Amino acid sequence: MRNRVTLAIGFVLAGLPVLAAAQPGPVATPAGPQPLAVTKGSEYTLEKWADGVYLATGGTGSQSCVIVNDQDVLLFDVGTTPGGARALLEDVKLVSDKPVRTVVNSHFHYDHAFGNGAFSPDVQIIGHRFTQTAIKTFDTLHREPYQSWINRAQDRNLERSKEIVPIAPTVTLDKSLVLKKGNREIRLLFLGRGHTAGDVVLFLPKERIVCSGDLIEGGISYMGDGYFDEWVTTLEAMKQLDWAVCLPGHGRPFSDKAHVTALQSYLTDVIDQVARIRAQNVPAEEALKRLDLSAHEKNWLPRMRPLDMRGMRRIYQWLEERAAR
């Protein structure tokens, strides 16, 4: 959330290139692509990126991609709570009167999947097989990243969070699932492990749009469930898809594949530095202090989200897993 707000400010600055150029100081983030139209709902704002393709921003949790087809609507990610997902359903009515028949979870994290409880059993919920396993068996309500959120957000979201019962996808994919909806072709693709072990992207080949979940965001993604070297490879596969706009799970849409390269280089540097620090038997808490990622700050203006302890612990654990392979 905080990332999204600061990035939005970056956007406002970038909208004033002449002024920015005339002023000394940090370089403003280059202006990204702009939506074709914007519809304000009661809780969400629906940005139109192609005919029938919207990015819903402003709710609690992830952004959602809304795909309006001939007969029905598909939602890619549904936010943190059933109450929030119901608000999304209401706001989607501003752009379509067709029923939502399909939900896709990009991955298992609460802010993308815990809204699943808002949907009746006749709505198909699709996710990677790992996402189904994670929601069914990981005790996600008593695990990161949900725990930090609920501790932080108690006052604001207590009423809505009470009704959360994690619901797993009912339809799974391992590699890909192609949905043909009238003229629309929707490809759900697992390109490899990365932000989690089961990230699915939604790719619209005709519209040249990709919805990336948290595999890549406007800012730097949460690292607590990452597979770091594979993540770099998976991002490479995502770059090979023919898209003109990426609608991420958090933060502003972007067109420049250099943004993906920036995350690859950040991840590669994190892996190298942490591996070197860990080899000196430095505990994870101390490693966080020694890490120097300042070289990447220019790619993540106006402010780079620092790696947190949950991310550092996961990198330690992952390095151990890698060494055992």
Binding site for Zn ion (CB under 5 A): 109, 214
CB of 172 to Zn ion, least distance (A): 18
Residue 63 vs 161, nearer CB to Zn ion? 63
Residue 109 vs 193, nearer CB to Zn ion? 109
CB of 92 to Zn ion, least distance (A): 22
One-letter-per-residue 3-state SS of 66-87: EEECCCCEEEECCCCCHHHHHH
Output phi, psi for 107, to 5 deg.
-165, 180
Q: CA angle, 83 as apex, 77 and 87 as ends, to 5°?
A: 70
Residue 107 vs 160, nearer CB to Zn ion? 107
CB of 222 to Zn ion, least distance (A): 5
Beta-carbon count within 10 A of 314 CB? 21
CB of 296 to Zn ion, least distance (A): 20
Q: Write the DSSP symbol of residue 254.
A: B
Residue 207 vs 214, nearer CB to Zn ion? 214
User: What SS3 state is found at 110?
Assistant: helix
CB of 278 to Zn ion, least distance (A): 24
User: How many angstroms separate the CA atoms of 108 and 169, rounded?
Assistant: 9
Residue 96 vs 133, nearer CB to Zn ion? 133
Q: CA angle, 39 as apex, 35 and 45 as ends, to 5°?
A: 85
Sign, CA torsion 226/267/66/114:
positive
